[in-house]
Structure 1
């Protein structure tokens, strides 16, 4: 059974943009499309049965509107929708266990109208078992630019990797995304100056050149088997001594998708995103995919 492209909707413009991106991605990948709308209801005794019914009806209406929008804008799309009573984070995380990819809006107002684009999205992307794609709405609603960016965009796919934690899951996701779109892949590895170099770096330019060559060679070695597996994907790769987040945001300008990894780890603080992922999600204009890996 094919695992679906899953999208969380809440009626906000952000979640509608995410739903359109998910519909285009499902069409590209030949996967089913599933919409989930979580609603928490009104806990007794603070609310009446009428309040509960009104909340359920409103949530169901936003789900139906999303389904109708997708079938109109993507002829042939047959999304399935599910209304689930429960908190959004555990609802989405449970649904994501059976999904190929989870898609959420990445911007929104605080409160119920835009909960998927705020703290909920942050919590979900930090804990989800599958890749999570965060999508912004188009900047000019009602114009010709009014289309969710990414899934069918001709822009390149950008992959940011840390060679200390390079992993097959993240690299595979990026290559497959570029392959499906028939576009190129740009790979960026940003590294910091080792502490041993920082004191006397001005006096040892040759050593810095050797360091750059070493990182470049390591990056090429990591990518080589994937380039052999996907020979039709043009690849450009850079290893740079620079802040990773800033370079990734610049590289992703006009991109179809930016792909990052999230290392799964257990700590007293629980699962969390690194500072690079946080910064990129906050500033990148294109959709951002966060791929969990061991």
Structure 2
């Protein structure tokens, strides 16, 4: 197999591959997503031969040690591309090798194509046990400007379950709903939004307090805010059923506990301000380690 030119696949779904079981599952998920979106699928295999090079730069293979690695990568990619095309005959699938590291390769190619989505597996070939979600997945979630999906679970995970959305009552909620409804509409899923009252405490400042019962019910303002957003999107997506719950739990726990029946969990990742980064980052971080289904992280 010769690697194909990906440069004319604008707005493609970009998926990372390293021949691990997790990355193969990610390619399957990404292929289904690309088909639903009617986008091309670009599979990126990074060799990490020349870390300083840009992802689109093809360095000449002068080191004889590099050549076997490239040939091994091609042998892994060739049947993968064939099988993906067989399972989705109408899908435009291309594969590309990059000499640089995976995070740089995926980021650069996605930016070059104005990619619709980044997809990676929850773990790769790292030999370090602590890297449970893989360094590439963690780096992309932290730095990517595009929505990044970490494919957790396995091939038997629910695909017809609801799309879960964690909401916190800020304007960022609109962005989360937009992606959740778009995904649900493409795949025939429902949307279930959750506001966890533990968002007020997050386990960082001691036990939950008991509010004045004469005051407005906890979460009332967020519930009203979320319902307004839901009503707007129900009009835009009339075929997507949507529900909303306020739960007395911490956000990460509420979403993790419900993820075994979900097809996707959608959360936000703010990267401004140390307090907000700690608070909201902790929710997405926990889901990347513990969710039982794929997790979509929407950047601010």
TM-score > 0.5, shorter chain as reference: yes
Contact 1:126 1:273 (C-alpha < 8 Å) held by counterparts: no
Q: Work out the CA distance in 2 between the residues paired with 1:99 and 1:243.
A: 33
Q: Work out the CA distance in 2 between the residues paired with 1:193 and 1:234.
A: 25
How far did 1:121 drift? 1.0
- Specify whether residues 116 and 130 from structure 1 end up closer, same or farther in structure 2 by C-alpha distance, changes over 3 A only: farther
Give TM-score, length-normalised by structure 1: 0.82
Give the SS at the match of 2:260: coil
| 1:238-277 Cα shifts (integer Å, max 9, x gaps) | 123320001001222221111111124377xx99970110
Residue range with higher mean Cα deviation, 66-75 or 171-180? 66-75
Contact 2:252 2:284 (C-alpha < 8 Å) held by counterparts: yes
- Specify whether residues 109 and 273 from structure 1 end up closer, same or farther in structure 2 by C-alpha distance, changes over 3 A only: farther
- Specify whether residues 129 and 193 from structure 1 end up closer, same or farther in structure 2 by C-alpha distance, changes over 3 A only: closer
Q: Work out the CA distance in 1 between the residues paired with 2:260 and 2:299.
A: 23
Residue range with higher mean Cα deviation, 121-130 or 1-10? 1-10
- Specify whether residues 89 and 169 from structure 1 end up closer, same or farther in structure 2 by C-alpha distance, changes over 3 A only: same
Residue number in structure 1 paired with 2:98: 84
1:193-208 matches, within 5 Å, as: 201=210, 204-207=212-215
Residue number in structure 1 paired with 2:237: 230
Q: Work out the CA distance in 2 between the residues paired with 1:200 and 1:177.
A: 37
Give TM-score, length-normalised by structure 2: 0.80
- Number of residue-to-residue matches in the alignment: 272
Contact 1:18 1:148 (C-alpha < 8 Å) held by counterparts: no
Residue number in structure 2 paired with 1:142: none
Residue 127 (structure 1) aligned with residue 143 (structure 2): yes
From 61, 65, 88, give the equivalent of 1:51: 65
Give the SS at the match of 2:64: helix
Q: Work out the CA distance in 2 between the residues paired with 1:83 and 1:200.
A: 54
Q: Work out the CA distance in 1 between the residues paired with 2:188 and 2:28.
A: 20
- Specify whether residues 73 and 224 from structure 1 end up closer, same or farther in structure 2 by C-alpha distance, changes over 3 A only: same
From 39, 57, 68, give the equivalent of 1:31: 39
Residue range with higher mean Cα deviation, 162-171 or 128-137? 162-171
1:1-294 matches, within 5 Å, as: 2-41=10-49, 49-97=63-111, 98-111=114-127, 118-136=134-152, 138=154, 147=155, 149=157, 153-192=159-198, 201=210, 204-207=212-215, 210-265=217-272, 274-293=281-300
- Specify whether residues 56 and 272 from structure 1 end up closer, same or farther in structure 2 by C-alpha distance, changes over 3 A only: farther
Q: Which runs of 5+ in 2 are unaligned?
A: 1-8, 52-61, 202-206
- Specify whether residues 36 and 247 from structure 1 end up closer, same or farther in structure 2 by C-alpha distance, changes over 3 A only: same
Q: Work out the CA distance in 2 between the residues paired with 1:200 and 1:117.
A: 34
